[in-house]
Amino acid sequence: MPLAAVIPEPNKPIELREFPAPDLEPNSAVLAVELSEVCGTDVYLQRGLLDGVPYPLIPGHVSVGRLAKIRGEMLDVEGSAFREGDRVTFLDVHRTCNACWYCLVAKATTRCPQRKVYGITYGAIDGLAGGWAEQVYLKPGTRCIRVEAEPESFMSGGCALPTALHAVERGDIAIGDTVLVLGSGPVGLNVIILALMRGALRVICIGAPKQRLDAAVELGAAAVFNFEEHDEAKRLDWLLTHGRLPDVTIEATGHPDAVVQAMRFTRDAGRVVIVGQYTDHGAVSNEAAFNPHLDLNKKHLDVRGCWGSDFSHFYRAAQLVSDPVRSEPWTRLQPKLSRFGLGQANEALSAVASGEVLKALIDPRMGI
């Protein structure tokens, strides 16, 4: 009976549970998990800060592993059948319906109301539906993607990679642009990689703590600034020492006030992408004082919310890490990963919450 790590209810420690081996429906499969990850959302999940989560729950939305068992047929996007033994990841979003107004008319599939997310809105009641487990049951309709790389390479990006890819796409970066990244967590670091890959002349980053800013520099950031040591006015001064304000700012912080700062920190007629507000942390503070005349209208800004990822972002992410040349930045991140066994999930969560690790992975192969 496969083991899984379970959040029994909000604010309770994670515990290990055995699950019955899944009973495969037609055109479904079992994934033998090689690696899953711990992302900021998992911290909020454990604290009960997300709506619509059916506790108890196996966390872990983005994972990689090998197809251990296939019933019927699982096809890739080229129409080729997967075989048992293939290494794959899968789009954590399931059941995007392709039948509702949002899917078919607005073509805004990340806002489809039918979508369910493995490890977030699928709970333990749905079976092995999260990645912090020896096995994941890939329900019919789950979209798998071949990964032709070591699991560590893919997980260096993890869920932050498709999220960042979507944000960079929304940022519409031109060759020669200066890009500012607010936040130096996994999404911020992936944005740095991808903004450079998209042709930015210079990418600069305001984040914390120092160790993450060091990683930013290693990944190619031209300059970094520690927000813990400098208030908004000093950050703006620092930006101006680099010339005109940035063309594009991508906010990936989790702090509401950073949204207003992102507008202020961007040059007139530039673009701002908001991808750091996945959890409700309340309203912008009085201190931030959002002034629509000065911060938005007069600046002629484009401010773009960026929610979720779709299949194309996962697919291209898998292509990038599977490519010998393009995967290079993620390879550089690999030594910075911290690996935890299923039995160490609580420690993994704490390490992510404190920011002491750059990225924590769950490796069910490590044993308990």
Nearer to a second copy, 36 or 190 (CB): 190
319: contact with a second copy by CB under 8 A:
yes
Query: Of the two residues 42 and 247, which places its CB atom closer to a second copy in the complex?
Result: 247
Q: Which is nearer to a second copy, 20 or 292 (CB)?
A: 292
* Strand pairing class (93-94; 116-117): antiparallel
Taking CB under 8 A as the rule, does residue 168 contact a second copy?
yes
Residues 6+ apart with CB under 8 A from 281: 254, 255, 256
Does 104 engage in binding with a second copy (CB under 8 A)?
A: yes
Closest CB 203 distance from a second copy, rounded Å: 11
Residue of the chain from 20, 83, 105, 233 that contacts a second copy (CB under 8 A): 105
- HSE-CB at 325 with a 13 A cutoff on CA atoms is 1
The interface with a second copy within residues 190-209 (CB under 8 A) comprises 194, 197-199, 201-202
The binder of a second copy chosen from 19, 44, 82, 102 (CB under 8 A): 102
> Residue 303 corresponds to which amino acid?
V
Note whether 45 and 59 are within 8 A (CB).
Answer: yes
Does 289 bind a second copy (CB under 8 A)? Our answer is yes
How many Å apart are CA 175 and CA 253, to the nearest integer? 25
Query: Which of the stretches 131-139, 293-301, 329-337, 346-354 binds a second copy when contact is defined by CB under 8 A?
Result: 293-301
Q: How far is the CB of 101 from a second copy (least distance, A)?
A: 4
Least CB distance to a second copy at residue 191 (A): 12
Q: Give the span between the Cα atoms of 64 and 19, in whole angstroms.
A: 20
DSSP structure string for 319-367: HHHHSTTTTHHHHHHGGGEEEE-GGGHHHHHHHHHHT-SSEEEE-GGG-
Residue 330 makes contact with a second copy by CB under 8 A: no
Binding mask 124-163 for a second copy (x = CB under 8 A): -------------------x--------------------
Asked if 268 touches a second copy (CB under 8 A), the answer is: yes
| Kind and range of the H or E run holding 234 | helix 232-241
x/- letters, 47..86, toward a second copy (CB under 8 A): ----------------------------x-xxx-------
Rounded to the nearest 10 degrees, the angle between the axes of helix 210-218 and helix 186-197 is: 20
For residues 13 and 18, give the distance between their C-alpha atoms in angstroms, rounded to a whole number.
16
Nearer to a second copy, 63 or 96 (CB): 96
Q: Is the peptide bond before 364 cis (omega within 30 degrees of 0)?
A: no
Q: State yes or no: residue 277 binds a second copy (CB under 8 A).
A: yes
Task: Verify binding: residue 241, a second copy, rule CB under 8 A.
Answer: no
